[in-house]
Chains A and B, each alone.
Chain A
Amino acid sequence: MTAFALKIVTPDGLKYDGMAEELIVRSTTGDIGIMAGHINCVVPLGMGQAMAIIDGIKKYAACIGGMMSVIDGKVTLVPTTFEWADSIDKDRSLASESRARAVLADKSSSQTDIKLAEARLKRALIRQSVAEKK
């Protein structure tokens, strides 16, 4: 398969810089797949699983927030957080899940707390489902 240049950068550093054959990410409106020769495009990212085929091997990652752009055949993924399946701290995400559930179960939680907890729960669930796909 033809490969294209892929760069993945987060505030924590450069996560990938090299060639890839395919990339599937969750945008705000659903999954979007990129292959070599894609038209120039800009897509805001939602919360979900990302999959990249690098040297014929499928690699999964939890990819949350940010944006992806394809300009002149170069794909740049700029998420807020991006973790490859093998670097996800599962215990931490389990702890985060139970904390979020506790806030949601508590009726006295404020509206902003509930919103934050919902987002945290979603992130935790995504991480856990991705971590299983190592």
Chain B
Amino acid sequence: MAGVSTKEIKNRIRSMESTKQITKAMEMVAASKLRHAQARVADSRPYFEILHGTIADIVSANSEFSSPYLQKRPVKKSVYVVIAGDRGLAGGYNSNILKLAQSEFSGKDIQVLPIGKKAVDYFRAHKIPMITEQYASAADMQVGDCFSLAKQLCKMYLAGEADEIYIGYTNFVSVLSQTPSIMQMLPLIGHKTGTEDKASDILYEPDSDEVFAAIVPEYVGGILYGALCESRASEQAARRTAMDAATQNADEMIADLSLKFNQARQAAITQEITEIVAGS
């Protein structure tokens, strides 16, 4: 009996060790990708923040509200752009953002535009109408894709196919913390605090409608790109943390099993000796 048990334990230790090797390798890959992604976030974050801040300034100071991008319409149709990852094994990264998005959907007539394979799969499984499945690879998206997607979204908004557009992405707070969030892209919103008394003497060249028509697609594209960079970095950070935890768990289990193995081996030897002594 003891012999079978030691063999079983040995097999488990061996399989645990190969699992550990895989998780360790994945952690290292994620850590190296994370470094690149972090550099990208550091580059794109000032753009993201300044673009957002500037637009909020302009919107707060605007009193004409003639541009369709500024007008709040009764909401019939909402569009959500949701950015998730292409692969699993990244801890709660995919499920956190998808759950948050899902919780926003209730009671609305919505369409989603998923970015990343996991998002596409999730919305397909939940039978939520998708605008396109074209962006199934979040890792391959370039700046150009963001801008062409932005143009498409703005066209939909102007055509009345969408009355509000949101983006769901994961904010890269730090290597250890990533928070999923939903942000409104269209219609444009100003600063939350009442800055209405601020004189709206902004010069629009050639005029405010044309200015908004030209800059809003750029703004949406910029926000999409920024959100994408944040999400990618978050994905790698989440995967690194998850794989690190998995490696540690494997270590613990191996230590535990080794102890059991030694105990079983010891027991077998003791039993053999007892048998020999008893037999003589």
Q: Which chain A residue has the least Cβ–Cβ distance from B208?
A: A42
Any A CB within 8 A of the CB of B69: no
B50 touches A29 (CB 8 A): no
Would you list which residues of chain B between 187 and 223 have a CB under 8 Å from chain A? 201-206, 210-211, 214-215, 218-219, 221-222
Any B CB within 8 A of the CB of A56: no
Chain A residues whose C-beta falls within 8 Å of the C-beta of B222 in the assembled complex? 11, 66, 78, 80
A10 touches B54 (CB 8 A): no
Least distance between A64 CB and chain B CB atoms (Å): 11
A9 touches B47 (CB 8 A): yes
Could you tell me how many residues of chain A have their Cβ less than 8 Å away from some Cβ of chain B? 25
Whole-angstrom CA separation of A13 from B40 in the bound complex: 8
B215 touches A67 (CB 8 A): yes
Any A CB within 8 A of the CB of B258: no
Whole-angstrom CA separation of A66 from B215 in the bound complex: 6
A44 touches B214 (CB 8 A): yes
Any B CB within 8 A of the CB of A87: no
**Binary flags per residue of A41-66, CB closer than 8 Å to B gives 1, else 0:** 11110000000000000000000011
Any B CB within 8 A of the CB of A40: yes
Could you tell me how many residues of chain B have their Cβ less than 8 Å away from some Cβ of chain A? 29
Whole-angstrom CA separation of A13 from B47 in the bound complex: 7
Q: Which of B43, B54, B143, B214 contacts A78 (CB 8 A)?
A: B54
A14 touches B46 (CB 8 A): yes
Least distance between A28 CB and chain B CB atoms (Å): 6
B51 touches A40 (CB 8 A): no
Main secondary structure of the interface of B (DSSP, over half): helix
B47 touches A65 (CB 8 A): no
A41 touches B54 (CB 8 A): no
Any B CB within 8 A of the CB of A32: yes
B214 touches A67 (CB 8 A): yes
B44 touches A11 (CB 8 A): yes
A69 touches B46 (CB 8 A): no
Quick one: given A28-B214, A40-B202, are A80 and B147 in contact (CB under 8 Å)?
yes
Least distance between B39 CB and chain A CB atoms (Å): 9
Any A CB within 8 A of the CB of B57: yes
Q: Which chain A residue has the least Cβ–Cβ distance from B62?
A: A42
Any A CB within 8 A of the CB of B225: yes
Least distance between A76 CB and chain B CB atoms (Å): 5
Whole-angstrom CA separation of A63 from B27 in the bound complex: 40
B43 touches A40 (CB 8 A): no
Least distance between B52 CB and chain A CB atoms (Å): 10
Any B CB within 8 A of the CB of A102: no
**Binary flags per residue of B217-244, CB closer than 8 Å to A gives 1, else 0:** 0110110011000000000000000000
7 pairs, A vs B, C-beta closer than 8 Å = A7-B50, A9-B46, A11-B43, A13-B46, A39-B201, A43-B211, A66-B218
